[in-house]
Structure 1
Amino acid sequence: MRKLLLIAAMLVLTSVIAACSENNGESNDGKEEQVVPVETAKAAKDDMVVEKSLYGRMQPSGTTPVMVQNPGEITELNVANGDTVEEDDHLATIQTSAGNQTIYASTAGEIAQLNAEEGSMASGSDPLMVIADFDPMLMTASVTDSTRGLLETEEIYTVTINDKDYDAELTSLGTMPDDTGLYPVEAEIAQDEGKILTGMTAVMNVPEKRVNDAIIVPTEAVVTESGETFVYVVKDEKAVKTNVTIKETQSDETAVKGDVQKGDQVVVNGLLTLSDGMTVEVSEEGDNS
């Protein structure tokens, strides 16, 4: 009797183990495939212009010092810093040992660097004030010989000041280097309601080279790993690892050569968990054209 019970128990245990194994097999076979959410952008075909950035400072396009012929007491002062004057405006009267001297504006502009008041003494060696021309403003920079070769006078270039772009006309291109071995350049920019101030940093974008008929993708789509450079192209809801060669790159865009065509959707976000052949779900589809 005891043997029969033992045999029956073993049969039941064997059935349970077999059932569990079968269930596990079904679970493994029926395991859902991992789907990776990604964002994509469309590859474009265009000419890429690689730009070089030149850094400079803003200053008035002209400054005219107002000099006093003979020192004396300022008995009349008709202007203050920031005032706008026209040519021949009466600026001040100076009482000197030789008599009264009347000071007139020799040019139009804005009064700057006035450090005097009525009743104070005016020196004959230092300017009484300066008349500055703030429209247009002048960007000044120094460049190497190779960069100088990229520039042309009377050409219009884009200059960025405080995250705003302006058109700048190159008005002067030095032919002799300064003490640092660099060549001075100047460009005029129309004043923007007084928003462009003296001393502000300006960045001029100068075309350095051009890549014609290039496949252009967002730089963030390009991956370099273990000596390989590649992008992931989405085809039939799969991420296809596609090797490329970088032709030129800028901060936002990269020109590549490889099996990437105009209009292909390349992955720009979700790359960290991605591998070749994985199923993807595009959550955001961009256009880089």
Structure 2
Amino acid sequence: MSTALLQANNLHWSINGRNIVNDVSISVAPGTMLGIVGPNGSGKTSLLRMLAGLNSPSSGEVQISGSALSSLRRKEIARRLAYVEQIAHTEMDLKVRDVVGLGRLPHHRSWHSLPAVCAADAPIIDEVAAHTGISELLDRSWTQLSGGERQRAQIARALAQDTPVILLDEPTNHLDISHQLDILRLVQESEAAAVVVLHDLNLASMFCDHIHVMRDGRTVAEGAPDSVLNQDLIADVFSVSSVISETESGRPAIRYLL
């Protein structure tokens, strides 16, 4: 990889003496996508929350563009990093346009000027809505959306934030296959350094430049998809038998065996 935009060194995080993330380091260059995979409970979301500055590591450090995340104010972090969580907890009766417009707030002086922000940044909001296929939803109420529609709106919000780093926790949740491919293609084609937690190993293989495999809070393998996703690793980490074939692009395609 080239010079890292996002760097995490020897991250540890524990709760009540139990290690959730244990000595994990990552490096992500601009314009590349790092996929984090692993079984449930392996520490993927906890790691992503540390990268977002939402959980403070017990030890270790996260840096963006050479600056320690812990030294930055929250608004400055929001100008450098967009985070899409697995489940959107907002239940306020906002228009979808307002939800997407939240991504523009870090670039304005006041956090309390959402209507004005949405008016000033309408072209950006319209553009990311078109890219994520939610243009027809912009005047709908957030509370009326399905899970998949909410997910696309949250990703549109992250794209509207226009940050050099994007973190996504299971961004394909609730999405049909077409939208899964569209969303990951958008992230892949962006200039951002992206970190994506995924359960689907085939999606990780298709879109990620580098894959980081976790189990029990630790890194057990990392590298390019064709060097990491093999039958032995899948059997060992995920307890599943598989057959690996090679696609035209040279990336592995996985078929699971019952």
TM beyond 0.5: no
Structure with more of its chain in helix, by fraction? 2
TM-score by length of 1: 0.22
TM-score by length of 2: 0.23
Structure with more of its chain in strand, by fraction? 1
